[in-house]
Every structure is written in C-alpha cells, then in structure tokens.
Amino acid sequence: MLIALLPGDGIGPEVIEQAVRVLDAVTGDALSFERGLVGGAAYKAVGHPLPPETLDLARRADAILFGAVGDPDCDALERHLRPEQAILGLRKELGLFANLRPARLFPELADASALRPEVAARIDLVIVRETNGDVYFGEKGMRTTADGLREGYDIMSYNEAEVARIARVGFETARARRGRLCSVDKANVLETSQLWRDVVIEVSRDYPDVTLNHMYVDNAAMQLVRDPGQFDVIVTGNLFGDILSDQASMCAGSIGMLPSATLNSRNQGLYEPIHGSAPDIAGQGKANPLATILSAAMMLRYSLGKAAEADRIEAAVAAALAAGARSPDLGGRISTAEMGDAVLAAL
C-alpha cells in the first residue's frame, strides 16, 4: 500500500518522522512511503505550494499522511502561492469534504486540560467539519469602495447537495456512536446557515434513530467549555468547524493531541493533526507528535483496513501517557523524539 508522505513546513517534518517510526513498527513492510513537497517547502524548492507531482502522488496513493503547512516567510506572497493553498488545494482537488476531528480526553491528561478535571473528563466527541465549501472557497478579493476605501470580501455559500452529503456523514457518525448529532450554524443571521439547517432537518428523516439538535455557533463555543460531555457528534461548516476544533483540543489537553481524517466519497483519506506548522517552536524538538501518530492510526483504520494495528497505536499512546511521557504542551519536558520513543516502548 502506497502512502503519500507530505511533511510540509515548521514542525510538520518533525511530527511526521515520529509517526513513520510508529507505522514502521506496527506494519512492518506492508506500507511503502513516497515523499512529496508541499507548502512553503514546495514553494521554496519549485515555486508552487502544491506542485503537480505532489498532486499526482496524492491521487495515486492509498492514503495521504500530512504534517502541516505555513511559513511566516510566505505570508506576503500572493494568496495562490501561499503554503496554506496546498492543504486547501488537496482537499478540493481530491474532493476531501468530510473532515472528522475526534476530541477525547486520555484520563492521564486530566491535569493538562484547560477545564476543571471533572468537566474535562466528560469530553468524547467528534467534530464533522465540511471542507470543500463555505467562505473558504467562495469568490474573494480586494476592491475599492466609492469612497476610496480598501475593502476585502469573501463570499460564503453552501448549496443543498453540499450540505446534504456532510449531514449524512454526521448522521452516520452519530449512529455508530451514541446516537446524538448537534448541527452548529448561525441561522439567526446567515442565509447560508438557514439553508444548512433546513437541509439537515430534511436529511434527518432518514435517521429516526439519531437525536438531532441545533445550536448557534456562539452558544456552541460556550457550551464546549461549560460542558463538553453534552456533545456526541457535531456537524458544521468549514469555518465554524475550524474554530471549534482548536477550542475542543484544549478541552482535551492540547492542540498537539487532536488527529483528523478527511475523507472523500471514494473513501480515500488525508490524515493530519489539526494543528499547524507552529513556527514559534519549529526546529526545537518541542512539538508533541501524538496528534500525528493518532492520525496515522486513523489512516490504518479508515483507509487501509488495519483496525487492529490502529487499536495497538492508540493503546500505546495511552500507555506512553500513563508512563508519564509529557512534551512541553502537556506540562512536561521531553522532546518530540522522546515522545516517539515512549510510544515505541509501549508498543
């Protein structure tokens, strides 16, 4: 099985390296890895954040393991050349529309959560985030108003087919868990969200066994820290899902803990931590690789049919945490590589 390895920028290569060590230990030589240039690293090497060779590799691969993109050196480039376009381009070109971001608290990390331990203990949810539409992909630009002011604009839109297909992923995910789906929108203000809510209700008729509720995104942000245990599955649009998942990560201990899978309708998947390239700690061995290691486990489970191996990795992460492995984001002092060592030792 061919895995496209796209390490990217900043801490991306550091966390990918640890995930590859863990995959090698668990799968032997069942996987072959082919590396591709992506993000700022690709721009600097060949002048484009998502070179055609990388896109071709991603299309050919059975699954994609992605680190992170983003480089402060590139923030002044024209938007289509910026590193972030690589992840947006991969999601769009491969039709990767369903981004699953599970957030649960490993019991050993109760002290790392930003919430009181008894509140944090209850977090076990999945955010199902749409990643092919919304304000991310609408018409955007800069213009000058009649008064001569600079004005930026980004069009937010969803059509009913886009909402229906992500709603189905939300209902299916809830059905396989505790049977509760919370759809998060801003239907009190946005037409995009009104359509979202209407379509989610229409799709819900096919899932009478799932309990659906709706929440405005501002309330959802508050509820997530008040009592995260109330959520089973959250389905939401691209922008709200981006924001709520970073927030959920801190309820679960650290942004360095949350993995993700982004799937298309052919069940091809891109697997990545939810965090970015963390330029503030890049190159210092301070990054927590567990989100990427857990993303590799999701890859084994969802794209490669290796559920037992995925279980082994997740159990090893829990055992490493139980043995006291703590990178700085978790309040400890050990390095990225030592976190990898701890998982390998537990395996």
Structure tokens at 293: 């290691």
CA 156/CA 268 separation, integer angstroms: 27
87 binds ligand IPM (CB under 6 A): yes
Q: What is the DSSP letter of 205?
A: T
278 forms part of the interface with ligand NAD (CB under 6 A): yes
Q: Is 242 a catalytic residue?
A: yes
User: Burial of 29 by CB count in 10 Å (0-12 exposed, 13-18 middle, 19+ buried)?
Assistant: exposed
255 binds, among ligand IPM, ligand NAD, Mn ion, none (CB under 5 to 8 A by kind): ligand NAD
Tell how many helices (H) and how many strands (E) occur in the chain. Answer: 12, 12
Q: Which of 56, 218, 227, 311 is catalytic?
A: 218
Sequence-distant (6+) residues with CB within 8 A of 35 are 5, 6, 7
By the 8 A CB rule, do 122 and 107 touch? no
Specify the DSSP element, H or E, that contains 212. Answer: strand 211-216
Report whether 286 belongs to an annotated binding site. Answer: yes
Whether residue 75 is annotated as binding a ligand: the answer is no
Q: How many CA atoms lie within 13 A of 57 on its CB side?
A: 20
Options 43, 136, 158, 207, the catalytic residue:
136
306 is catalytic: no
Q: Is 198 a catalytic residue?
A: no
Q: Which of 134, 185, 242, 329 is catalytic?
A: 242
Judged by CB under 6 A, the stretch of 62-70, 102-110, 135-143, 228-236 that binds ligand NAD is 62-70
218 in a known ligand binding site:
yes
What whole-number distance in Å separates Cα of residue 164 and Cα of residue 152? 30
Query: Could you tell me which stretch among 144-152, 193-201, 273-281, 302-310 binds ligand NAD (CB under 6 A)?
Result: 273-281
Regarding 242 and contact with Mn ion (CB under 5 A), the answer is: yes
The residue range among 9-17, 186-194, 239-247, 331-339 that interacts with Mn ion, by the rule CB under 5 A, is 239-247
Task: Give the residue, chosen from 55, 199, 215, 274, that forms a contact with ligand IPM under the rule CB under 6 A.
Answer: 274
Residue 316 and residue 325: Cα distance in Å, rounded?
Answer: 11
One-letter amino acid for residue 175 of the chain: R
Interatomic CA distance for residues 170 and 126, integer angstroms: 9
Binding positions for Mn ion, rule: CB under 5 A: 242
Catalytic residues: 136, 186, 218, 242, 246
Binding positions for ligand IPM, rule: CB under 6 A: 84, 87-88, 242, 274, 276
Annotated binding site for Mg(2+): 218, 242, 246
Binding positions for ligand NAD, rule: CB under 6 A: 11, 15, 68-70, 84, 87, 255-256, 272, 275-281, 287-288, 291, 329
Annotated binding site: 91, 101, 129, 218, 242, 246, 276-288
